[in-house]
Amino acid sequence: MVSIKYDYDHIIGPCASDRIGRYERPLPPTVHSRVPYVLLIVLVSLLSWAPSLWVRSRMRRHGADRADLPGTGAELVEHLARRFELEGVTVERTDALKDHYDPATRTVRLGPDNHDGRSLTAVAVAAHEVGHAIQYARGEPVTRLRQRWGPIAAASTRAGILILALLPFVGLLTRSPGAIVAIVALSIALQLFGALAHAIVLPMEWDASFAKALPLLVEGEYLDDADLPAAREVLRAAALTYVARALSDLVNLGRWAAVVLRR
């Protein structure tokens, strides 16, 4: 057998060696500098979901149906409306996670699981929404917070999102970085105002949970003492729903602010 010795230096040659050397060079500084920025965006995105995920996890934890509970969430609303003489207050089904009280129509709206379910979550959420009905029936000053700031918060947030949706068209028409930054800044300002307005209604939510719902559940003996810690947990989550939404909005704003500052 003939042994053949390959001269790799001769095959590769000086030109090929130069090419290999070029591939071994470090990445440009711009690539490295983007890594922390990308990680920051990912972290902020995760944080934006955290408050809402916490609220949903509290609701799910106590969302299993229980045969020992006397009725569904809807039945509890109807019973409490009669007990507290809430004239004209009705209950109807709405989308999941959209539980609320509509003072304009005097309607408690519960998601399917809370409307038809016999769980601690269904009972506590139903009592929380009836707490709002009691607030409005009594004309309590705390209701003015939502009446004044609720529509403003929703409109401001929607306007900010709509303006942001127009960003690609503005970029195509103007091709001006300054105009793009101005649009993003305006959207951030509107959504920030909406987030702060959502946070303003916290006293009303806290009152509905712990000055209305919890006392009526205890005094009416609708739950055993052993169930009260879980009910408090659900009521706390119900009270913090709007705050969780506001925190999510604020974290999202931080992400957009980072985009603007990056430019």
Query: What b/e string do you get for 218-241 counting C-beta neighbours within 10 Å, with b at 16 or more?
Result: eeeebbeeebbebbbbbbbbbbbb
For residue 29, CA distances in Å to 25, 60, 72 come to 12, 47, 62
Q: DSSP of the chain, one letter per residue?
A: -------HHHHHHHHHHHHHHHHTSPPPHHHHHHHHHHHHHHHHHHHHHHHHHHHHHHHHHT-S--TTSSS-HHHHHHHHHHHTT-TT-EEEE--TT--EEETTTTEEEE-HHHHH--SHHHHHHHHHHHHHHHHHHHT-TTHHHHHHHHHHHHHHHHHHHHHHHTHHHHHHHH--HHHHHHHHHHHHHHHHHHHHHHHHTHHHHHHIIIIIIHHHHHHTT-S-GGGHHHHHHHHHHHHTHHHHHHHHHHHHHHHHHHHHHH-
Q: What is the pLDDT of residues 43-67, one digit of tens each?
A: 666 666 777 888 999 999 999 999 9
Identify the segments of the chain with pLDDT beneath 50: 4, 6, 8-12, 16-17, 20-21, 23, 31
Query: Which residue's entry shows tokens 């205890």?
Result: 218
pTM equals: 0.75
pLDDT at 145: 83
Q: What is the pLDDT of residues 243-258, one digit of tens each?
A: 777 667 666 666 666 6
For residue 57, CA distances in Å to 5, 46, 50, 123, 184 come to 69, 16, 10, 16, 33
**Residue type (1 letter), 123:** V
pLDDT at 6: 45
Query: Which residue's entry shows tokens 């009725």?
Result: 71
Instruction: Count CA within 13 A, CB hemisphere, residue 253.
Output: 20
Q: What is the pLDDT of residues 216-229, one digit of tens each?
A: 999 999 999 999 99
The whole-angstrom separation of Cα 108 and Cα 105 is 9
